[in-house]
Structure 1
């Protein structure tokens, strides 16, 4: 068996351990459990293990790299919902458009233009999360907050992309409480952008929180948490 394999039994056990933590975070925030979706970040595992993850009851699959994600999609793309969560190069859009269901890393105008062009050719609308670099870390991708309003105005006439959510990546820290302002900042951006009334801008969803900080993210409004190491890392 590949070293990058995880069985459905292990995933189910980890999921059972994760659920009470998610539920408790929802309760602290006065939210319903069904408001939070788990994206299984599967970059750690090879193709055969994707079937085990899906069989364990996880329906959202998140991949970071085109070359790793495509073979997994080809094998299991008819099952579940597929999220492209990594930095997407403009020249790779042609490989993933029409396959992956949601794109979490819309962060520049050239990418928006290419997604719109390719989606129009296919007669579809690309469902996107606008990635905002709330923390201001130089190592993180995402729009600078000062550029967000100009960006959404520039993309407002692109009829084949829809910004249906926002995404951010928080700094990796020991104490997750330290990144609460980052998640709160993204939620505030959601409220601000929803008030603009732009047709293709309906960012109701918030993609934020990973294995080390998802509870704080949920408390601040996350609707999608991107969980890998504590859930689907190899056995």
Structure 2
């Protein structure tokens, strides 16, 4: 069933891509979110073509990584606590949830220790949801400028988690705003950044996210079914 689900999601992404008003900057990366799913399920998805794995928690990823290894690209999509940075830098190819200079500096410090250039996205809290992490828009330029001065970090773009609204059309303007912001950041003259990814959209809203410019989507339930807690 995982294979069929994965193919169905990929087909929806292709269809949504055709509805885009914007230029396709990068082909859409489908990140299979494996939180609370087993290594066996992960292997099934990888065998079916999943090339990008998303984990919410460092501890869970650490348990799975030795069994999966670097056959896929690992994305950290959940909030990263500073005391988990050392382990995160060892295994994640892209940390999508950087939201403060303190966290960025800690990641940079640990990346220096293992001589790694750590790719990151900055998480934006567009509508100032109290329940979500992320930097507010007015604080974003300063954070991006500070990150640009950290030698072992490479800013690769932005990440956004939309509110879980019943009427999906209500999130469309938010995705539009994020795309506009993303394009603005792309045109900013940074020293080391390579701003090419806009990560937004999950199982319930990824189709609209792709239509509005996302080139990374993070999908779990639509691939693996409901999580077993």
TM value normalised by structure 1: 0.91
Task: Show CA shifts across 1:86-108 (max 9, x none).
Answer: 00001101112131100000001
**Residue in 2 aligned with 1:211?**
203
In structure 2, the partner of 1:7 is none
Query: Which residue does the alignment assign to 1:48?
Result: 40
Counterpart position of 2:97: 105
Q: Which residue, out of 204, 214, 217, partners 1:222? A: 214
User: How far apart, CA to CA, are the structure 1 residues paired with 2:84 and 2:13?
Assistant: 34
The number of residue pairs the alignment matches comes to: 226
- Once residues 186 and 234 of structure 1 are traced to their aligned partners in structure 2, the CA distance between those partners, rounded to angstroms, is 28
Matched, 1:27 2:7: no
Deviation at 1:139, TM superposition (A): 0.7
**Residue segments in structure 1 that go unaligned for 5+ positions in a row:** 1-9
Equivalent pair of 1:44/1:233 in contact (CA under 8 Å): no
Q: Distance in 2 between matches of 1:137 and 1:62?
A: 23
RMSD: 1.7
Which whole-Å CA distance do the structure 2 matches of 1:74 and 1:205 have between them?
27
Which 4+ residue blocks in structure 1 deviate beyond 4 angstroms?
30-34
1:182 is the counterpart of 2:182: no
**Contact kept? 1:193, 1:201, Cα under 8 Å:** no
Question: Which sections of structure 2, spanning at least 5 residues, go unmatched?
Answer: none
Aligned to 1:133: 125
What TM-score do the two structures reach when normalised by structure 2? Answer: 0.93
Kindly provide the CA deviation profile for residues 40-80 of structure 1, in whole angstroms up to 9, marking residues without a partner as x: 00003122322112111111000001111111111102211
Q: Kindly tell me: are residues 211 and 185 of structure 1, through their superposed partners in 2, closer, same or farther at Cα, counting changes over 3 Å?
A: same
Q: Which among 157, 178, 187 is matched to residue 165 of structure 1?
A: 157
Instruction: Please give the secondary structure, in 2, of the residue aligned with 1:200.
Output: coil
